[in-house]
Structure 1
Amino acid sequence: MITKSGALQYLSKEEIALVTPDTSPRGCGIEGEDDSWDLGTGAGFYVDATTEKWKNNYNMYSYITSELPQIINASFPIVRIPFDNTRVSIFGHSMGGHGAIMAALRNPNMFKSVSAFAPICHPSECAVGKKAFTEYLGANPSAWSVYDSTELAAVYKGEMLNILVDQGSEDSFLKDGALLPDHFVSAVQNSSKFINLETRVQPNYDHSYWFVQTFMEDHILFHSKHLK
């Protein structure tokens, strides 16, 4: 994110501090944590794991929404003098987009805005999401809905939430059914009084950081508008 997204020039201009947490714990010594790209190291899916194998280390939801904000507030004068903890937004790419939207929907007063590049929108209904949720949360799908943006959006009744989603038309994950943005759009219709959603399909773009880099300025300006 820091080296590939091209965000720094826009952040500097808008005077926004960007925090880029990792996508999972590292080096936990859990059997199989490095066996595949979509589970374990690099793929925490922003849940608090409940299964025996993962629950002691894989608590990315609590880390992002509770522990990390406390660390930032206590450690970085740039956001502390003066600090207004209501001027916070969140965004992400792919699995990170899932995490950003999900965290915002679960914490209605925490973020001014949320945006995502090609997010995994309905993890309970796609292969990569089912794999991760089964490992981290168990085989019962009833435990998955609290970490699923589509399920959360369908019943959201919190503070008005502004969401921007960009999706490339030639994204292989979109074509393989891993992202399911149409499910999320349909779910938001049930909560349209509480969610202001803007979706954009970018012709000929894939899932890569070239896609992210091209539209990064739009996302920074989107958040800047709501933060300021």
Structure 2
Amino acid sequence: MTDFALKRQQILSKIEAACKKNARKFEDVQLLAVSKTHPAEVLRAMHAAGQCRFGENYLQEALSKQEQLQDLDLEWHFIGHVQRNKTKPLAAHFDWVHGVDRLIIAERLSTQRPENLKPLNICIQVNIDGQDSKDGCVPAEVPELVQQISQLANIRLRGLMVIPKPDNTVAFADAKTLFDEVKAQHTNPDDWNTLSMGMSGDLEDAIAAGSTMVRVGTALFGARDYKLDK
């Protein structure tokens, strides 16, 4: 087993243990590998270990990796903040966009999504605990945003993404409450199935609260002084 396969299995085991502890199904929590700053050959090695979902924060870096890895069947998630001048390449080159917090961004993504591609999966980023340094809409804005974004032709609205303050595990429960409240009034409730929260240090708490997708970088890839297997 390669180092990447071992690290991935260790994370999956943590996810499985957290699911078992909280009476949840292991298959209901997805692992998103946060691969920012890691070169394409590392993603290729992680894919060989079984990982298909990758999350990127920086657009130009991600586009370069996509070009180098176009022979692989990968699912690309953009998890950084979405700027208006970046929506066109995001709409054309990603499967998921997590950092949507304004209607204008969703509208641009929908309009700019190429006709030959499936609708773009998006999550609304919510500043769940009111951090000055974090992007995202306030919780009170979510219901109206959901109603508006649900009507866009080339968007598939999937759920919420949150990044609470460290050790603020109560925020995970708040996000789950908001997620459930919105699901009850969503135009397409079957699509509303993704609660993206939890990272390397707090994935167990996030899963206990109801996360369906954990974003793991350091614990999965390790430090950047790795050696690739030849």
Give the TM bin, normalised by the shorter chain: 0.3 to 0.5
State the TM-score, normalized to the length of structure 1.
Answer: 0.37
Name the structure with the higher strand share: 2
